[in-house]
Amino acid sequence: MEVKNKIVIVTGAGSGIGRATAIHFAKHGATVVVSDINLEKAQKVSEEIVTNKGNALPIKANVAKYEEVENLIKETVSEFGKLDVIVNNAGIGPHLLKTHESTLKDWERVISVNQTGVFYCMKVALNQFLEQGYGNIVNIASLAGLKASPNNISYSASKFAVVGMTKSAAMEYATKNIRVNAVCPGYTESALLNQLINAKPEMDAILKSVIPMKRYGKAIEIADAVVWLASDNTRFITGQTITLDGGTSL
C-alpha cells in the first residue's frame, strides 16, 4: 500500500486497534505520531516501532480537550513539516445500561471522546489540510453506528454521529483534494470487547452466535483496511463506511 513517507497521526494508539494501526502504518513506511491519553502506552508503541526500524513519535493528547488536539497537530507539523493522514481512533465504551437507566455522567463522558473528540480532530486537521492543499481522514466508527445496539445508547449515538460527520465532511472537501472515510468494525478483539464480556460472561457465546464467521475480528484486520483507505491506492474513494464484521450485518 502506498503510504511510504506519509506523516500519520493515530489517536488512541496506545492499545487495541489504534496500536495495530500505528504499527501497520510504520511497516508500510509511514512516519507515525503515536497519540494517546496515556503517554506511557504511547511511548511503548513508539519504541516498538522504532525497534523494528520504523519511524514514530509519541505525543500525549486527550481528544476531548480542544487545546490538546490543537497542540497534537501543531507539534506534528512543527516536527515533520506536514500532516498527510489522521486516524481518529480514540474511543471509550459506556456502562451497559438501558436508556432510561443511563446516567448523564456516562452520556457526557462517552460523547465527549467518541463524538466531540472526533469533531475536534477533524476540525483542526482540516485547517491544516486546506492550508497545504491535501489530506486524508480515516475515522473509526463501529457496527454500532450502522445497526441497533441495545443497552448502549451513548456509544451507539456517538458512532452514528461519526458516520454522519464522515459523510458530511467528505462532501464538503471533495474538491479540495481531501478525502474522508470511515471503517465500521464489528465485534473485534479489544479492551472494549473485553470490558463487555467481563461484565457479562454469557455474552461471549451470544455474540459469536450472531457472527457468520463465528469469531471476533482481529485488530490487524481493521488496521489493514485503515491503511488501505489512507493510501494512494484509494484516491477515488471518499465518504465511505467500510464494514468489517465477519458478516454480522447480514
From the list 155, 173, 187, 216, the catalytic residue is 155
Find how far residue 165's CA is from the centre of its chain.
Answer: 13
Q: What is the mean pLDDT of residues 74-90?
A: 98
Tell me what pLDDT residue 196 has. Answer: 77
Q: Is 187 a catalytic residue?
A: no
Tell me what pLDDT residue 85 has. Answer: 98
Residues 6+ apart with CB under 8 A from 131: none
Q: Does residue 249 lie within any of the structural domains?
A: no
Q: What is the mean pLDDT of residues 90-96?
A: 87
Tell me what pLDDT residue 94 has. Answer: 77
Q: Does residue 55 lie within any of the structural domains?
A: yes
Any bridge partners for residue 217, and if so which?
188
Tell me what pLDDT residue 131 has. Answer: 98
Domain that holds residue 141: 7-188+218-244
Query: Which pLDDT tens digit goes with each residue over 208-249?
Result: 999 999 999 999 999 999 999 999 999 999 999 999 999 999
Query: Which pLDDT tens digit goes with each residue over 158-214?
Result: 999 999 999 999 999 999 999 999 999 999 998 778 877 888 899 899 999 999 999
Q: Does residue 21 lie within any of the structural domains?
A: yes
Q: Does residue 102 lie within any of the structural domains?
A: yes
Q: 169 vs 35, 46, 83, CA distance in Å?
A: 23, 30, 18
134 DSSP 8-state letter: -
Q: Does residue 194 lie within any of the structural domains?
A: no
Q: Distance between CA atoms of 198 and 151, rounded to whole angstroms? A: 16
Q: Does residue 199 lie within any of the structural domains?
A: no
Q: Are 73 and 67 in contact (CB under 8 A)?
A: no
Percent of the chain residues topping a pLDDT of 70: 100
Q: How many helices (H) and strands (E) does the chain have?
A: 9, 7
The pTM is what?
0.96
Q: Does residue 193 lie within any of the structural domains?
A: no
Q: Are 244 and 183 in contact (CB under 8 A)?
A: yes
The number of C-alpha atoms within 13 Å of 245 and in the hemisphere containing its C-beta is 22
Percent of the chain residues topping a pLDDT of 90: 91
Q: Does residue 82 lie within any of the structural domains?
A: yes
Q: What is the CATH number of the domain that holds 162?
A: 3.40.50.720
User: How many folded domains does the chain comprise?
Assistant: 1
Tell me what pLDDT residue 237 has. Answer: 98
pLDDT band at 151 (very low <50, low <70, confident <90, very high): confident
Return left, alpha or beta for 16; rule: phi > 0 is left, psi -120 to 50 is alpha, else beta: left
